[in-house]
Structure 1
Amino acid sequence: MSHALIWFRRDLRLDDNPALEAALRAGHAPIPVYIHAPDEEAPWAPGAATNAWLHRSLQALDADLRARGSRLIVRRGDSLSELEKLIAETRAEALHWNRLYEPASIARDTRIKQGLKSRGLTVESHNAALLVEPWTVQTGSGDPYRVFTPFWKNARTRLVAAAPPTAPARLPEPPVLLAGLGIEDLKLEPAPPEPRWDAGFWQHWQPGEAGAREMLDAFLDGAAHGYKEQRNYPDRIATSKLSPHLHFGEISPRQVVARVLGQVWPAAVQGDIDHFLSELGWREFSHHLLFHLPHTAQENLNPKFSEFRWAKPDPAHLAAWQRGRTGVPIVDAGMRELWHTGWMHNRVRMVVASFLTKNLRYHWKHGADWFWDTLVDADLANNTQGWQWTAGTGADAAPYFRIFSPIAQAQKFDPAGKYIRRWLPELATLPESALAAPWEQPDLVRRLAPGYPSRPIVDLKASREAALAAYSGPKSKPPPER
């Protein structure tokens, strides 16, 4: 039987894996391969939290392959060189992979496809990560969308309820003498003498395809009901938490949509389902923007902000934000949740981003870089779009005068203070009336929470006024809808 290499990247699953399906359909025996080449993704090589998740996700994929009679061949080095070696060692006739959409990956994959095709190898790439390819959704004039609503109105019509294919129960065994590294040889996890800063992650997450399926099941049975409103409250289990599983391709958006559309929902829940699907739409929109405007991972999308007066970061203030020591409880709770779990509730992401870009008036890239290193769902498209949206510099962005009040956000979306108390245990004994703005009751804080900052690192009112004054220069507005 002829062989085909299946080059796994961020498609770490066997169900609904178009590259695997294509090889089997062509009659090839698939050889699953993972090549560790983080430098090829520069300047956005995976961060530390991403690598910690990747270690466990690769282990889960290898276990799933072994349960079917196959195994994952792990290599490290230049991707093209390692693929050429594998082709020579296995006499493979074809190479299949699922597409990535980041600028560096597109350039690398294009070069590899052209080089290997010129030597007579069958090389095919497939869509495993998106509901719609970025180049297939266009405005009436043939341009990419820059506003979400018309983009999603167009893309939403393409969703299908048909269940995607599942993996076969058995897979052929790769050649016995085909050598590879152990996953542990990639040194993706923190190792002594480095502290196990990721230990808290695994109380909340199960990387791998099985963990992704369980997370989707739990969401559809529970938080999907009431999702539209409840998703705003960080103290509740009210979101899908599928983002890291989607990022690593442990589940596909097609699988999620098929489950959602294939289920009969009460009329009262339909608004929740539509809103959840629109959140998947934002993920698609982010990839659409990055594909068509790749410079936005580093630069403001809106050129009116090219001369904006960002403040020079104070290293002590930036560190206080990173470590959850700003003295603003809802901000600090979010940053502590991120550090402990590798994830942060979306409502709180907007609050901490607004604090950094508006109250501190630091360039959004300082926040994007920190999130990139600490999030287990550190997706370049989503991370870029999220930060530019809050900063007001991106497509479909929040208007420049929108500055999240961390006090109002805490009072509205964490009214009982459960979220703040969970992640800031030093404030656990404060009454609810003091949790949103403890500096307003200094005597109480000195007595009950002496270890917490006595006041915020920046005056919220004064910094808001300074931000409004600075932002009123560009007065950046999103382009008109097309």
Structure 2
Amino acid sequence: MINSALPDGIKTPINICWLRRDLRLNDNRALYHALKSSFPVLPVFIFDTHILNHLSDKKDKRIVFIHETIEQINTVLNENGASLLVLHYEPLTAFKNICSALDVREVFANHDYEPYAIKRDAAIQQFLLQKKILFHTYKDQVIFERSEVMKPDGTPYTIFTPYSKKWKQKYAEQKNIIYPSDKYLHRLLKTKPLAIPSLKEIGFEKINIHIPPLNIQESTIAHYHKTRNLPAINGTSYAGIHLRFGTVSVRQLVELAYRFNEQWLNELIWREFFMMIIFNFPYVVNGSFKKKYDHIQWRNNEAEFELWCKGKTGYALVDAGMRQLNATGWMHNRVRMIAAGFLTKHLLIDWRWGEAYFAEKLIDYELASNNGNWQWAAGSGCDAAPYFRIFNPAAQAQKFDPQLAYIKTWIKDFKPGYLPPIVAHEFARKRALEVYKKSVKEI
């Protein structure tokens, strides 16, 4: 129980900072405001059983990454005479236990925009309200959220280019504020180190993982527009997982992008665009943004889907990407687009199948971006590629991996004809055009 996890003798009023998708001590808006408040602050992290119980892979790299990150945070807190309270509960149960054991006056957290998170936070807020405990939440993982970048008539943008222009205009008009939360750690609740549940105790296994380090050197960002499509070189920032779990401040990254590379800035804006879409159009989680695309007659061949998952389609760039994903939990962004387009257009397999597979495997999985990019590839999303845009994977390989360096890295026994193609490109292209044209015509 919570009582046994806490040290004895805490009788004074305290405030809580609930860490979620903001696993850092610097430039953390909720933590900053908590530490500037009237009472000592106890940071809390909850391994949410509602989420964890749906994860079938007990060697999930993301859970290992989170666990390692909160251990690192706790080490810093211990050095400041404080500790992180880590619980393994459904969040509402966790807060009921916390508030029965401690004199909690206020709770601070940063916004989350996914449908489950919105419902979760509403339930927590209602419980705290009944206990007369204030619940403060802040914008932290994006520059602009929800309805801050809208059309002149107040409706959401559904096309990226005008959204990005408005986004950049608003950003240029404001001051980029940094929240120096790490300078106020002396205001944390003083307590002995608290035990963190082991991975085994929360139902997972300890494995060795390699998370690509954040690559935001000035030279990388300055040349991003030239290198981002070449999977064989180290030309991307690997910012995805760090943004997903908040181990880096988006304000820091946007400031860097604004100074050095507009293309990289656009990628960061795409992330916020998709978050805005999923907040304002929550039906896209399970359905097509363009609803007529729900009428596509998918083939959904399970044997072909399995070959795609294993990287055995006979198309080298697709297979290399899928093997990279399965081995590391990460795939190069250009290759993600090619693999997604191949599944939906060449094999006519429902984008939701591929989206779910990526959601299971990607260490940087983020619902809004994953959903948005899969619907983009399938043609069913907002501002998506038209359905008749069907990439030739072989031509893409020649263009972006001409020396076969990336392909040979992930297909160890590669040679031309290493596997017979699962389907001929021209046949698949013609079939997709016919099915899409018939299925998405206005009804």
Question: What TM-score does the superposition give when structure 2 sets the normalisation length?
Answer: 0.90
Assess if the C-alpha contact under 8 Å between 1:331 and 1:351 holds in 2.
Answer: yes
> What secondary structure, in the 3-state scheme, does the structure 2 residue paired with 1:223 have?
helix
1:305 to 280, 293, 299: 293
Q: 1:476 to 1:371 in 2, by over 3 A?
A: farther
Corresponding residue for residue 331 of structure 1: 318
Name stretches of at least 5 consecutive residues in structure 2 with no aligned partner.
1-11
RMSD of aligned residue pairs (Cα, Å)? 2.4
- Amino acid corresponding to residue 24 of structure 2 in structure 1: R
Q: Does 1:114 align with 2:126?
A: yes
Q: 1:117 to 1:392 in 2, by over 3 A?
A: same
> 1:77 and 2:77 equivalent?
no
* Superposition pairs of residues 142-157 of structure 1, within 5 angstroms: 142-157=154-169
For 2:223, the equivalent position in structure 1 comes to 226
- Secondary structure of 2:217's partner? helix
Cα distance in 2 for residues equivalent to 1:396 and 1:46: 34
Cα displacement string for residues 400-437 of structure 1 (whole angstroms, at most 9, x for unaligned residues): 0111110110000001111001111111xx4xxxxxxx
**Aligned match of 2:178 in 130, 140, 164?**
164
Answering whether residue 251 of structure 2 is matched by residue 251 of structure 1, we say no
Residue aligning to 1:408: 395
1:122 Cα deviation after fit: 1.4
Match of 1:286 in 2: 274
Distance 1:173 1:274 in 2: 39
| Structure 1 residues 22 and 173, CA gap change in structure 2 (3 angstroms) | closer
Asked if structure 1 preserves the Cα contact closer than 8 Å seen for 2:293 and 2:440, the reply is: no
Q: In the alignment, what sits opposite 2:4?
A: none
The 3-state SS of whatever aligns with 2:15 is: strand
Question: Over residues 1-23 of structure 1, what are the superposed CA-to-partner deviations in whole Å (9 max), with x where a residue is unaligned?
Answer: 64111111111011111111111
Equivalent in 103, 116, 122 of residue 115 of structure 2: 103
Pairs within 5 Å for 1:258-407: 258-261=255-258, 273-314=261-302, 316-407=303-394
Quote the Cα distance in structure 1 between the aligned partners of 2:202 and 2:367: 23
Deviation of 1:169 after TM superposition, in Å, equals 6.1
Q: Distance in 1 between matches of 2:193 and 2:71?
A: 18
Are residues 425 and 185 of structure 1, via their aligned partners in 2, closer, same or farther at CA, if it must alter by over 3 Å? closer
Does 2:120 correspond to 1:132? no
Name 1:205's counterpart in structure 2: 212
2:114 is matched by which residue type in structure 1? Answer: E
Tell me the alpha carbon deviations over residues 302-338 of structure 1, each in whole angstroms, 9 at most, x when there is no partner: 1111211111322x22121111111111001001111
Shift of the 294–278 alpha-carbon distance from structure 1 to 2, 3 Å rule, reads same
Which residue number in structure 2 is paired with residue 442 of structure 1? none
Contact 1:146 1:395 in 2 (8 A): yes
Aligned-partner residue type, residue 112 of structure 2: L
Residue aligning to 2:408: 421
1:114 offset after TM fit, Å? 2.3
- Partner SS for 1:36: strand
Question: Structure 2: how far apart are the matches of 1:144 and 1:42?
Answer: 34
Distance 1:59 1:122, change over 3 A: same
Deviation at 1:464, TM superposition (A): 1.2
How far did 1:37 drift? 1.5
One of 37, 41, 55 as aligned partner of 1:26: 37
User: Residues 411 and 318 from structure 1, CA distance in 2 versus in 1: closer, same or farther, beyond 3 angstroms?
Assistant: same
The CA deviation at 1:115 is 2.4
Task: Assess if the C-alpha contact under 8 Å between 1:89 and 1:178 holds in 2.
Answer: no
CA shift at 1:172, angstroms?
4.6
How many residue pairs get matched?
A: 427
Greater shift, 109-118 or 235-244, is seen at: 109-118
The one-character-per-residue Cα deviations of 1:43-80 (angstroms, maximum 9, x if unpaired) are: 89999332232222222222232233322111111212
SS at match of 2:74: helix
State how far apart, in whole Å, the 1-side matches of 2:324 and 2:89 are. Answer: 34
Question: Unaligned regions of 5+ residues in structure 1, if any?
Answer: 207-214, 266-272, 431-437, 440-451, 478-482
Q: Tell me, in whole angstroms, the C-alpha distance in 2 between the residues paired with 1:220 and 1:163.
A: 22
Residues 12 and 57 in structure 1, CA contact (< 8 A), matched pair in contact too = yes
Structure 1: how far apart are the matches of 2:205 and 2:29?
Answer: 33
8 A Cα contact 1:55 1:188, kept in partner:
no
SS of corresponding position for 2:44: strand
Instruction: Report the residue type matching 1:408 in the other structure.
Output: A
Deviates further, 298-307 or 177-186: 177-186
Give the residue type in structure 1 aligned to 2:233.
R
C-alpha change, 1:330 and 1:258, in structure 2 (3 Å) is: same
* Mapped pair 1:3 → 2:14: yes
Question: SS of 2:43's equivalent?
Answer: strand
What residue in structure 2 maps to residue 447 of structure 1? none
Shift in CA distance, 323/187, structure 1 to aligned 2, threshold 3 Å: farther
Separation in structure 2 between the aligned mates of residue 415 and residue 149 of structure 1, nearest angstrom: 31
Deviation at 1:468, TM superposition (A): 0.9
Determine if contact 1:49/1:373 at 8 Å carries over to the other structure: no
CA distance in 2, matches of 1:227, 1:219: 10
Query: Per the alignment, do residues 38 and 88 of structure 1 end up closer, same or farther by CA in structure 2, a change over 3 Å counting?
Result: closer
Give per-residue Cα distances to partners, 1:123-175, cap 9 Å, x unaligned.
11111111101122211221111111111111112325645122126435646
Q: What's the counterpart of residue 184 of structure 1? A: 199
After superposition, the Cα gap between the structure-2 partners of 1:295 and 1:43, relative to the gap in structure 1 and judged at 3 Å, is farther
Letter in 1 for 2:231: P
CA contact (8 A) 1:323 1:336 kept: yes
CA distance in 2 between counterparts of 1:107 and 1:400 reads 34
Offset at residue 340 of structure 1 (A): 1.7
Q: Structure 1 CA distance, aligned partners of 2:190 and 2:127?
A: 25
Q: 1:52 to 1:460 in 2, by over 3 A?
A: farther
